[in-house]
């Protein structure tokens, strides 16, 4: 029987939160470095997911938003197999920035 994404959702949440905390925890938003941070973070999270479960395809997107004078909203809609596939959305912040990570796990 095929495994569903929800069976390891909590694990994914925990590990991704830890990865973000370790990577960004003590940093301050820096215009020159942010691009490298988002790329590195999403790569690291995909590697972690592959190690956890290789029966899924993964799409991970990472947004870093400087704390300032601008509103932001984000929505996701998916067309998939609701019994097997799933997603996790992580919102993290420190004094200078927000980090939002979307993880989609698709069974194949």
Contact residues: another protein, CB under 8 A = 29, 31, 34-35, 37-39, 41-43, 45-46, 49-50, 57-81, 85, 87, 102, 104, 106, 108
Our CB check for another protein shows the closer of 25 and 69 to be 69
Question: At its nearest, how many Å lie between another protein and the CB of residue 51?
Answer: 11
Distance CA 10, CA 8 (A): 6
Residues 66 and 29 sit within 8 Å (Cβ to Cβ): yes
Contacts of 46 (CB under 8 A, 6+ apart): 58, 60
Question: At its nearest, how many Å lie between another protein and the CB of residue 68?
Answer: 3
Question: At its nearest, how many Å lie between another protein and the CB of residue 1?
Answer: 17
Distance CA 4, CA 85 (A): 6
């Amino acid at each position: 029987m095929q495994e569903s994404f929800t069976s390891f959702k909590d694990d994914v949440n925990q590990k991704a939160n830890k990865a973000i905390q370790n990577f960004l925890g003590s940093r301050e938003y820096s215009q020159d470095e942010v691009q490298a941070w988002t790329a590195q973070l999403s790569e690291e999270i995909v590697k972690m997911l592959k190690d956890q479960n290789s029966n899924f395809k993964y799409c991970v997107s990472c947004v870093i938003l400087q704390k300032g004078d601008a509103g932001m909203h984000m929505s996701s809609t998916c067309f998939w197999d609701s019994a097997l596939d799933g997603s996790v959305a992580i919102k993290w912040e420190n004094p200078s920035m927000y980090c939002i990570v979307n993880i989609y796990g698709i069974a194949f």
